[in-house]
Amino acid sequence: MTRAAKLATLPLGYAGRAALGLGKRVGGKPAEAVAAEMQARAATQLFTVLGELKGGAMKFGQALSIFEAAWPEEAAAPYRAMLTKLQDSAPAMPPARVKEVMAAEFGPRWRRRFLDFDETAVAAASIGQVHRATWRDGRDVAVKIQYPGAGKALLSDLSNVSKVARLATSWIPGIDIGPILEELRGRMSEELDYRLEASAQKAFAKGFEGDPNVAVPGVIDGTERVLVTEWMDGIPLSSIIADGTQEQRDLAGTHYIEFLLDAPGRCGLLHADPHPGNFRLLEDGRLGVLDFGAVKHLPGGLPDDMGRLLTLALDDDAGATLAGLREIGFVRDGIDVDAQRLLDYLQPFIDPLRTDTFHFSRDWIRDVFAHINDPRKPNYAVGMRLNLPAEYLLIHRVWLGGIGVLCQLGATVPGRAKVAAHIPGADLPPVDEE
């Protein structure tokens, strides 16, 4: 009841803020100042409640966080600090509860597995928290411990968040909340079993063993609710987004996009949680990757159709692009779409591949969202006629989420070369030198 009551404060709080805003405007306070104050209050309440609840509510907040770069600055500014905080932190379990979970999972003598174990969490996230420890062989390790009752709370939170999703959409223009919630629901059972996460992490660690650009911590031990992995130091991408140098931004962004594109071919898995809290820039320049609870199995790698369609679009072949999208279900049978308008709609998404390097920025992604979300423009009608096949849903979200993070970073990356190297079927035409 307490969790539901907290979530219920979101729409009630919004109604109260609206009434307060109206009162201030009647009293003569400028509309712009009232709007800014209401946005700031909304951000504070929304993400404070989500962070306190952890579970599905916090997952929902994390899923939204990677899109903030696309919001208009007047809406994004009050949210940004709260989002960054949400990506990396949440209230922790007390030491007594930590001991209970460890004893339940590893037995009453669980401490014998460790030379040292810090009972104070160093990080807390949506369904678990992380402790630093020393394994019995002397290795520094991270111990990820799931919150008791996380599964039940997770499903309850997502159900309650659904009730305020329409309201949240009004706060966050250009984001369709429904598919995000449905996707989160579908993957919860996988994320709650740390044995599945351990299996996925082992596959990523093996696939990127010895890689000069990407590092994945090895798995040491684990149960359904506890996971022990090698410790990894580094600068979180959220910190680089906040105040990193341009060199750090470009290096992290280049390794980041390469990892997302390369992993399906190497490991048969797509890392499906691309928010910045899961990535670190290591001292040696590699990108450290964490949290493998959300993955999509792609035993054949990314679909060949992705590269083929990108090539057709970059060749400006409108007819073939439309035909290809029809073949794989992005345009359903019987739906009338003008081929050239469809290609015009897609242009902003493929422009980063028309040059050897591209600078991803908040201004650019805002222009993209304006291009596709303005009902007054022909592009809006084209977008309404498109369909997203189920098998592409998670790939699509990771793709858009990855672009969102690159824009938060403000990174300049050789995206064209990475796509050509790692997306099957991509035979990109020469760069136009004009």
84 in a domain, yes or no?
yes
pLDDT of residue 373: 72
Task: Let me know whether 225 and 343 are in one domain.
Answer: no
Do 8 and 145 share a domain, yes or no? Answer: no
Residue 27, pLDDT > 50, answer: no
Answer whether residue 9 shows pLDDT above 50: no
Q: Is 353 or 22 the better-scoring residue by pLDDT?
A: 353
Q: What is the mean pLDDT of residues 271-281?
A: 91
pLDDT-derived band at 92 (thresholds 50, 70, 90) equals confident
Of the given ranges (57-61, 117-121, 341-345), which has the lowest mean pLDDT? 57-61
Instruction: Read off the pLDDT of residues 160-194 as tens digits, 9 standing for 90 and up.
Output: 555 555 555 444 444 455 655 566 566 666 778 89
Which pLDDT score is estimated for 18? 38
- Looking at the fold, whether 43 and 178 belong to one and the same domain comes out as yes
Instruction: For the chain, count helices (H), then strands (E).
Output: 17, 14
Given pLDDT bands bounded at 50, 70 and 90, which one contains residue 427? confident
Q: Please state, in angstroms and rounded to a whole number, the distance separating the CA atoms of residues 55 and 128.
A: 9
Does 322 score more than 90 pLDDT? yes
Mean pLDDT of 2-10: 44
Residue 276 in any domain: the answer is: no
Residue 205 has pLDDT above 60, yes or no: yes
Q: 317 with 397, same domain?
A: yes
Are residue 344 and residue 359 in the same domain, yes or no? yes
Residues 363/70, Cβ–Cβ less than 8 Å: no
pLDDT tens-digit series, residues 115-158: 999 999 998 766 889 999 999 999 999 999 998 877 666 666 55
Choose the most confident range, by mean pLDDT, from 5-9, 166-170, 210-214: 210-214
* Pair 73, 170 in one domain: yes
* Residue 380 confidence class, pLDDT cut points 50, 70, 90: confident
Whether the pLDDT of residue 226 is over 50: the answer is: yes
Cβ atoms 67, 175 nearer than 8 A: yes
Say whether both 35 and 129 belong to one domain. no
Judge contact between 166 and 212, C-beta under 8 A: no
Section 244-253 average pLDDT:
98
Q: Is residue 282 part of a domain?
A: no
DSSP string, 155-190: HHHHHHHHHHHHHHHHHSTT--HHHHHHHHHHHHHH
Task: Answer yes or no: do 113 and 10 share one domain.
Answer: no
State which residues form the domain around 24.
2-89+153-188
Residue with tokens 């709007």: 35
Is 297 domain-assigned? no
The reply to whether 56 falls in a domain is: yes
3-class secondary structure, 387: coil
Secondary structure (DSSP) of 326-337: HHTTSS-TT---
